[in-house]
Amino acid sequence: MRYGVLGTGEVGRTLGGRLVELGHEVWLGSRTRENPAAREWAAAAGAGADAGTFAEAAAFGEVVVNAVGGRVALAALEAAGPENLGGKVLVDVSNPLAFEEGELRLSPVESDSVGEQIQRAFPHARVVKSLNTVNCRVMVDPARVPGEHQVFVCGDDEGAKEQVTALLGEFGWPQERVLDLGDIRAARAVEMWLPLWVGLMQKFGHADFNLELRRAR
């Protein structure tokens, strides 16, 4: 499969790298064609890896992954171009976090989410929110954390969620550990998990953790 991964930060490079290892072709996209981090990533990732602009990466991908920060997601996707997103599965793994004066802030929050913003702005993309509840190393290697811990998917397109669930399976998340929360409005709930995630990361001193939902029945 051909993937366009938008974002050259740790999340984009980690997801892109694992996709290449799994035998996929990946273009990593950034604002500029000659982004040094992206070029270095492509050279290290080897065959199947390339780097270019957001638009080039999105045009290349049969599936597009939004791995830029949630607060700049719409700008990156605007640069990618609606013509390169229409009809495609668009996996949004972002969180709209920022630290302002030492405090964690989340925006949008509560009555909206990045997942919904993207789906509204690109109505022909098949947006699935997923993986934003774990660190990127856990995203692509859930066995870093013991237990039957889970990830979530939500989105308006059932077929797109099935496709993303299959991709999660390639990363090592068995289907029974992928919890479908319904339509894209559930992105609010998973994005609002982040303040607790950050608090726990600070408490534990590392990011190799996740939640396992335990239930009576």
Q: For 48, which DSSP code?
A: T
Q: Does 121 bind a second copy (CB under 8 A)?
A: no
Find out whether 52 and 89 touch, Cβ atoms under 8 Å.
no
Tokens of 44: 């290290």
Within 99-118, the residues that bind a second copy by CB under 8 A are: 103, 105-107, 109-111
Is there binding between residue 211 and a second copy (CB under 8 A)? yes
Total residues contacting a second copy by CB under 8 A comes to: 42
What track of x and - describes contact with a second copy for positions 54 through 73 (by CB under 8 A)?
--------------------
Q: Name the residue nearer to a second copy (CB basis): 72 or 192.
A: 192
Q: Using alpha carbons only, what angle is made at residue 91 by residues 204 and 123, rounded to the nearest 5 degrees?
A: 135
- Choose the stretch contacting a second copy; rule: CB under 8 A; options: 42-50, 60-68, 80-88, 191-199: 191-199
* Closest distance of CB 110 from a second copy, Å: 5
Residue position matching structure tokens 């302002």: 100
Verify binding: residue 179, a second copy, rule CB under 8 A: yes
Identify whether 142 is preceded by a cis peptide bond (ω within 30 of 0).
no
Residue 190: CB minimum distance to a second copy, A:
6
* Residue among 23 and 206 whose Cβ is closer to a second copy: 206
Q: Hey, what are 136's tokens? A: 């990127």
Please choose, from the candidates 169, 45, 101, the residue with its C-alpha nearest in 3D space to the C-alpha of residue 27: 45
Q: Which is nearer to a second copy, 123 or 147 (CB)?
A: 147
At residue 160, φ and ψ (nearest 5 deg) are -65, -40
CA angle 150, 4, 201 (to 5 degrees): 35
What is the rounded distance in angstroms from the CA atom of residue 10 to the CA atom of residue 141? 14
136-175 positions binding a second copy, by CB under 8 A: 144-147, 149
> Quick one: 33 or 105, whose CB is closer to a second copy?
105
Closest CA to 15 of 135, 154, 129: 135
Site for a second copy in 26-45 (CB under 8 A): none
Cα–Cα distance measured from residue 71 to residue 130, given in angstroms and rounded to the nearest whole number = 17
Give the nearest distance from C-beta 65 to a second copy in angstroms: 22
Residues that bind a second copy (CB under 8 A): 103, 105-107, 109-111, 144-147, 149, 179-182, 185-186, 188-190, 192-193, 195-196, 198-200, 202-204, 206, 208-217
